[in-house]
Amino acid sequence: MGIASLHPSYNPDMSNSLVVSQVTHRYPPRGREVARDTLQGVSFTVEAGRVGCLLGPSGCGKTTLLRCVAGLEQIGGGSIRIGDRVVADGRTHIDPEHRGVGVVFQDYALFPHLNVCDNVAFGLHKLPNDEIEKRVDEVLSLVHLRDAKHVYPHELSGGQQQRVALARALVVKPKIVLFDEPFSNLDIETRQRLSAEVRATLLEANATALLVTHDQYEAFALADEIGVLRDGALMQWDTAYNLYHKPASRFVADFVGEGVFLPVTVIDNDRVDSELGTLQLTTPTKRTNGERIDLLLRPDDVVHDDASTNTARVLARAFRGAEFLYTLELPSGRSVLALVPSHHNHRIGEAIGIRVELDHVVAF
What are the pLDDT tens digits along the chain (364 aa)?
Answer: 333 333 333 444 547 899 999 999 998 776 666 557 799 999 999 999 999 999 999 899 999 999 999 999 999 999 999 999 999 998 999 999 999 999 888 787 899 999 999 999 998 878 899 999 999 999 999 888 989 999 999 999 888 998 898 999 898 889 999 999 887 777 777 777 888 888 888 888 888 999 999 889 889 989 999 999 999 999 999 999 999 988 999 999 999 989 999 999 999 888 889 998 888 877 777 778 888 989 999 999 999 999 999 999 999 999 988 999 999 999 999 999 999 998 999 999 999 999 998 877 788 8
DSSP E strands, 151-283: 176-180, 208-213, 225-230, 233-238, 260-268, 271-274, 277-280
pLDDT of residue 5: 30
Spatial CA neighbour of 302 closest among 332, 270, 322, 330: 330
Alpha carbon 26 to its chain's center: 24
> Which residues, other chains included, contact 332 with Cβ-Cβ below 8 Å and sequence gap of 6+?
275
C-alpha–C-alpha distance, residues 173 and 311, integer Å: 59
User: Is there a contact between 79 and 23 (Cβ–Cβ < 8 Å)?
Assistant: yes
- pTM reported for the whole predicted model: 0.84
Four-residue CA torsion sign, 106, 221, 140, 175:
positive
Q: What structural domains and CATH numbers belong to the chain?
A: 8-253 (3.40.50.300), 258-356 (2.40.50.140)
